[in-house]
Amino acid sequence: MTAEAPAAVRSMNLGGAINAGLRAAMERDPKVLLMGEDIGQLGGVFRVTDGLWKDFGDHRVIDTPLAESGIVGTAIGMALRGYTPVVEIQFDGFIFPAFNQITTQLAKLHYRTKGKLSVPVVIRVPFAGGIGAVEHHSESIEALFAHTAGLRVVSPATPQDAYDMIQQAIASPDPVLFLEPKARYWDKGEVDTARVGTQLEAVGGAQAATAEMSRARVAREGKDVTLLAYGPSVRLCLQSAELAAADSVSAEVIDLRSVSPFDMETVLASVKKTGRAVVVHEAPVAFGTGGELAARIGEKAFFHLHAPVMRVGGFHMPYPGSKFEHDYLPSVDRILDAVDRVMAH
**Contact status, residue 314 vs residue 266, Cβ threshold 8 Å:** no
Q: DSSP string spanning 61-101? A: EEE--S-HHHHHHHHHHHHHTT-EEEEE-SSGGGGGGGHHI
Burial pattern 146-170, b for ≥16 Cβ within 10 A else e, equals bebebbbbbbbbbbbbbbbbbbbbb
Select which of 59, 110, 136, 137 is catalytic.
Answer: 137
DSSP state at residue 106: I
Measuring CA to CA, which residue among 135, 136, 42 is closest to residue 97? 136
Dihedral sign for Cα 96, 98, 104, 108, please: negative
Distance CA 156, CA 314 (A): 20
3-state secondary structure of 122: strand
**Contact status, residue 82 vs residue 32, Cβ threshold 8 Å:** no
Measuring CA to CA, which residue among 172, 159, 231 is closest to residue 199? 172
Plot region of 17 (φ>0 → left; ψ -120 to 50 → alpha; else → beta): alpha
Distance CA 33, CA 168 (A): 15
> What value does the CA radius of gyration of the chain take, rounded to a whole number of Å?
20
Query: 6 to each of 17, 79, 165, how far by Cα in Å?
Result: 17, 37, 21
Asked about 137 being catalytic, the answer comes back as: yes
Measuring CA to CA, which residue among 73, 75, 72, 38 is closest to residue 58? 38
Distance CA 137, CA 157 (A): 19
Q: Which helix (H) or strand (E) holds 231?
A: none
**Contact status, residue 274 vs residue 224, Cβ threshold 8 Å:** yes
- Catalytic annotation, residues: 137
